[in-house]
Structure 1
C-alpha cells in the first residue's frame, strides 16, 4: 500500500467547488448516482477507482465538458465559489477559462509553442500588445517548468516536443488564462517515470494557487500528490477523506479492498 505524505490536513482550506447529489445519464444509461463532493482551494483532490466507475465522467461535469455529448443529461448542483455553474446565465466558454482541463493524452495544437500558450489569452482578449502576450507565454511556461527547455524555439511546433514536454505545454496553455481550478484526467498515464515525476512536482507547485482535481489509476500517485482522495465505484462515490486516512484506515471495506489491490 502506498504511503501518503505527512501534513495533508485540509481542515483550514477554503471550499472552492462543491457538488451535491449529481446524477448523470448517457441516453438511458445512468453513469453517476448521487455524487456529493467538496473540493478545496490550494489542494489536490484525487479521484480513484476501477476503470468505468465514473471518475472522468464526474470530472467533466465540473467544467461542463459533458454539454457537448449528445444525449447526456446532468442533474444535481455544482457550485464554484457558491455560484451554480449550470445556471442559464453561465457561459460554458467563460466557465472553462476559470476551470481549466488537462487531458489524458497530450493534445497540443498544430501551432507554434508560443501560439499554443497564447491561444487562451487571445480568444479571451486578455492581452493587447505583443509584449503582453510574450510576458504571459513566458510566465505560463515558467510555471509549467518548461521555459528553460523551449525558450530558444518558441516558433517551433508544439507537436514536435516529447510526450512529457507536450503535457507540460498543455498545462501551460491551461494556466495561461489564470484559472481558479485545474482538472487533470490521468495526465501521466502516457508518460514515462521521469516525465511523471516532473508533472507531479509541477502539481505540488501549482496547488499553492489553485484547486486541483486529478483522476488517476495510480495509488502511488494519489498518495504522493493529493490532500484528499475520493473513491468511486460503479458510478457512486463510496468514500472521501484525507488521503492519509483513505490509504491507512478507510471506513468502507470496498475502499480497503481497492487500495490494497484486492480488486480493480
Structure 2
C-alpha cells in the first residue's frame, strides 16, 4: 500500500458557473399515483442541501430523481427537467452508469459489498477505468478512505471484509466507496438514521468536511440534523415543495405557515 497520495484535486478544471443541479417542474408518478408536483429546486455547489418533511412527503423520491435511481422502479415516470452542470440527465443519449459515477449515493442502511475493505472502495474506480495502474488505484483507495475519516481505523485491515466493521464504520466505508469515483454531487438518504448518537456525530462532522470538495444533498427526518449540517433546506409536504432557503432563516423565520407548523411539531 502506498503512503498518502498528493492532493488529487490539484489539476481539476474550473467548475461551471451556476447551480450544480437544477430541477424544473419535476413531476413523478408511480403508476397512476402522482408523488411529486411541479418541483423547482436548485442545488448549489459546495453546500449541503437538506430535504425535510413528514414521511411520504416526496423528499426521498426527489433525491432518487437526481441520479435516476427511480429508473429501477417499475411504473415510475419522471416529467420535467433535471440538469447536472446544465446537461439534462434524462436525455436519452446520456449514459446512466456515468451519471451515477458523477452523482454518488449513500443509503439509509450501510450496505458494504461482500468484499474486502480495499475492494469496496476500489470497485467504482476500477469499473470506470479511472486507475490504469495498481499504484493509481491504491492512491484513490487511500485518499477516499482518508476523506471518509476511516483511515486510522482500517489501515491495517484493508484485506478484511467490509462487513466486519461496526455500523458507523460501515457507513463511512460506503461514503468512501461513493466518493472514490470523484463525483460532483453526493446524495445521502438518511445516512445516520440507523446509527447510534456517537456514530451519527462522526457522520455529521464528516459531511461538513466533505462539502469542501462535493455538493451534498441529504434527506433527513431530523430537523436538528438539518440545522446542524446544511446551508440550505427544502421543506416538502404532500409531494410539493413548500419552502426552500437558507437553513438558519427557515428555522427561525419561516415564510410559510406549513413550514412553521412542521418545525414546531404541529404536523409530522
TM range (shorter): over 0.9
Structure 1 counterpart of 2:146: 142
Structure 2 counterpart of 1:57: 61
Pick the aligned partner of 1:156 from 160, 167, 179. 160
Alignment length, in residue pairs? 252
Q: Secondary structure at the match of 2:160?
A: coil
Contact 1:230 1:241 in 2 (8 A): yes
RMSD, aligned CA: 0.8
Unaligned runs of 5+ in 1: 1-12
The alignment's TM-score, normalised by the length of structure 1, stands at: 0.94
Q: Secondary structure at the match of 1:239?
A: strand
Contact 1:41 1:209 in 2 (8 A): no
1:212 and 2:197 matched: no
Structure 2 counterpart of 1:29: 33
Structure 1 counterpart of 2:97: 93
Structure 1 counterpart of 2:130: 126
Structure 2 counterpart of 1:179: 183
Unaligned runs of 5+ in 2: 1-16
Structure 1 counterpart of 2:20: 16
- Alpha-carbon distance in 2 for matches of 1:158, 1:208: 26
Structure 2 counterpart of 1:241: 245
Pick the aligned partner of 1:203 from 197, 204, 207. 207
- Alpha-carbon distance in 2 for matches of 1:195, 1:205: 16
Structure 2 counterpart of 1:5: none
Tell me by how many angstroms 1:204 deviates.
0.5
Structure 1 counterpart of 2:231: 227
Tell me by how many angstroms 1:121 deviates.
0.4
- Alpha-carbon distance in 2 for matches of 1:58, 1:179: 19
- Alpha-carbon distance in 1 for matches of 2:45, 2:29: 29
Q: Which has the higher contact order (CA 8 A, sep 6+)?
A: 1
- Alpha-carbon distance in 2 for matches of 1:103, 1:40: 21
Tell me by how many angstroms 1:24 deviates.
0.5
